[in-house]
Amino acid sequence: MAKMKLFYSPASPYVRKVMVLAHEAGLEKKIETVAVMVTPVKANPDVAKRNPLMKIPALIDGDTTVYDSPVVCEYLDSKHRGKKLFPAKGKARWTALRQQALADGLLDAALLVRYEVTLRPENLRNAEWHAGQMGKIGAAIDQMEKEAGSLKGAPTIGQITFGCALGYLDFRFADYDWRKSHKKLATWFEKFSKRPSMKATVPAMPV
């Protein structure tokens, strides 16, 4: 059977979610990663053919293309017979999906900060915008700390996204010492980071 193709970057936290889920689900060998570079200020025609939003991840499986990362993750979760990472229904499902949205929202804010300080010329940067996005990051981590005690049992897409969001902060916001005042979350993350799925997907600069 032909492999699925995943538009990929080793630095993208949204791609990492997909790869962590793929490892947890035993699907990683069924995915061929296609390394691409995307940035909001330069169109990538190869990606655009499959995802007009020109964002990654996007997954191509035969004549099916899916994006964005929550859809790719749920799609892959439907393709294996092991323990599901998306709980099927009820409170467990809403908690996992809300946690995914919380940590994805943290990442959305973190990416906007990155774009502000890397893509935008220095004389066009806006301190209020920057502070507003950092405020969202801080509030999201505070909420994650409140929920850290409940992050038990088999991993869910919520836990995976928490892990990828915190891993991204360590990768791109290394000076942001979130551990100091979020000790339960730090303890959880230390343990979660030891999973083979997380160790196989540590963020890296594209080569």
Binding site for a copy of itself (CB under 8 A): 39-43, 48, 52-55, 64-68, 70-71, 74-75, 78, 89, 91, 94, 97-98, 100-102, 104-106, 109, 115, 119-121, 124-126, 128-129, 131-133, 135-136, 139-140, 142-143
* Conformational region of residue 26, where left means phi above 0, alpha means psi within -120 to 50, and beta covers everything else: left
CA distance 64 to 54: 17
Nearer Cβ to a copy of itself (37/48): 48
Nearer Cβ to a copy of itself (20/109): 109
Q: Please state the closest distance from residue 28 (CB atom) to a copy of itself, in A.
A: 20
Q: What is the pairing mode between strands 64-66 and 4-8?
A: unpaired
Nearer Cβ to a copy of itself (144/198): 144
CA distance 15 to 186: 22
Beta bridge partners of 192: none
Nearer Cβ to a copy of itself (19/97): 97
Nearer Cβ to a copy of itself (8/198): 8
Q: Please state the closest distance from residue 145 (CB atom) to a copy of itself, in A.
A: 11
Buried b (16+ CB within 10 A) or exposed e, 147-166: bbeebeeebbbbbbbbbbbb
For residue 138 the two structure tokens come to 């801080």
Q: Please state the closest distance from residue 115 (CB atom) to a copy of itself, in A.
A: 8
Q: Nearest-CA neighbor of 15 among 138, 155, 111?
A: 111
Q: Please state the closest distance from residue 199 (CB atom) to a copy of itself, in A.
A: 29
For residue 130 the two structure tokens come to 């920057």
Q: Please state the closest distance from residue 15 (CB atom) to a copy of itself, in A.
A: 15
